[in-house]
């Protein structure tokens, strides 16, 4: 009974994290050399997703657009609708023309299959029509750092503009993660590049909404009807940019 519960937990965790990892674990349960079979089965399912998903996988390497870390690719979190993939490519290309050498980094997109299955912890990333981008960062003396973020996975390095006024609420996803903030390097936001990317995304007719924390948008001098506050229940958006079709 305990064993069944334990495997159930593993299958659930792998499914929530990677969509296909739980299936690979179920396959591995039929074999003695479980870990190796799991890795082989996962590699097979990964390749199957890559070749048959109705969504498009964003590039894991290269320029001017790539996932912030190959980990996003390994976990199947880099899939978006073909139209959104073009939006991201076009924005990254224009950024590299305006600011030569700029590398635009994408964060969580969506899973390869199944509309309606959210990419935890992003409840809205459930149909391939949502994508997050990392901010651009610079050295303390203002030199742009190509392809680098402030935190290891691009999320959770909050800009300390005064936060949007939200009531204290235990249901909120507005994590503060204060312990993490003190560990992160001093790497200021590259304001001109970040503002230019948001402006370009707002000008793209295929994009319907962009979430940026309002005080940060104000600090970057941005104002556009598509640039919105995501609400107090959702995660903070002063560490990344969220767009949707």
Question: Site residues (CB under 5 A) for Zn ion?
Answer: 122, 132, 242
Kindly provide the residue ranges of all beta strands, DSSP E only, lying in 18-163, ordered along the sequence. Answer: 56-57, 65-67, 79-80, 104-106, 130-134
Residue 125 C-beta: closest distance to Zn ion, Å: 6
CB of 242 to Zn ion, least distance (A): 3
Q: Quick check: 95 and 209 in contact, CB under 8 A?
A: no
**Rg for the chain (alpha carbons), in Å?**
19
d(Cα 184, Cα 170) in Å, to the nearest integer? 26
**Closest CB to Zn ion among residues 122, 174:** 122
Residues 6 or more apart whose CB falls under 8 angstroms from that of 135 comprise 149, 150, 157, 159, 189, 190, 194, 239, 240, 241
Q: How far is the CB of 235 from Zn ion (least distance, A)?
A: 8
Mutual angle of helices 21-28 and 34-52, in 10-degree steps: 140
CB of 108 or CB of 190, closer to Zn ion: 108
Return the number of the residue (132 or 159) whose C-beta is nearest Zn ion: 132
Residue nearest to Zn ion (CB): 242
Q: How far is the CB of 184 from Zn ion (least distance, A)?
A: 20
Nearer to Zn ion, 56 or 122 (CB): 122
Asked if residues 24 and 41 have their Cβ atoms less than 8 Å apart, the reply is yes
Closer to Zn ion at the Cβ: 49 or 210?
210
CB of 36 to Zn ion, least distance (A): 35
């Amino acid at each position: 009974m305990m064993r069944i519960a334990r495997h159930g937990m593993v299958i659930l965790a792998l499914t929530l994290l990677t969509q296909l990892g739980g299936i690979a674990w179920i396959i591995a349960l039929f074999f003695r050399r479980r870990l190796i079979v799991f890795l082989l089965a996962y590699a097979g399912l990964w390749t199957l997703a890559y070749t048959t998903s109705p969504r498009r996988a964003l590039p894991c390497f290269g320029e001017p657009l790539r996932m912030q870390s190959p980990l996003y690719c390994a976990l199947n979190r880099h899939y978006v609708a073909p139209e959104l993939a073009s939006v991201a490519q076009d924005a990254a290309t224009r950024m590299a023309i305006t600011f030569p050498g700029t590398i635009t980094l994408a964060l969580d997109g969506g899973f390869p299959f199944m509309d309606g299955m959210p990419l935890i912890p992003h409840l809205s990333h459930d149909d391939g029509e949502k994508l997050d981008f990392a901010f651009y960062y610079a050295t303390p003396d203002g030199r742009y750092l190509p392809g680098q973020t402030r935190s290891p996975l691009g999320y959770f390095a909050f800009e300390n503009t005064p936060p949007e006024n939200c009531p204290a609420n235990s249901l909120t996803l507005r994590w503060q993660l204060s312990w993490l903030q003190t560990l992160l390097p001093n790497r200021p936001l590259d304001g001109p590049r970040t503002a230019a990317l948001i402006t370009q995304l707002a000008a793209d007719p295929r994009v319907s909404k962009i979430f940026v924390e309002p005080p940060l948008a104000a600090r970057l001098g941005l104002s556009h009807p598509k640039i919105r506050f995501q609400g107090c229940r959702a995660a903070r958006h002063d560490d990344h940019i969220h767009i949707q079709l």
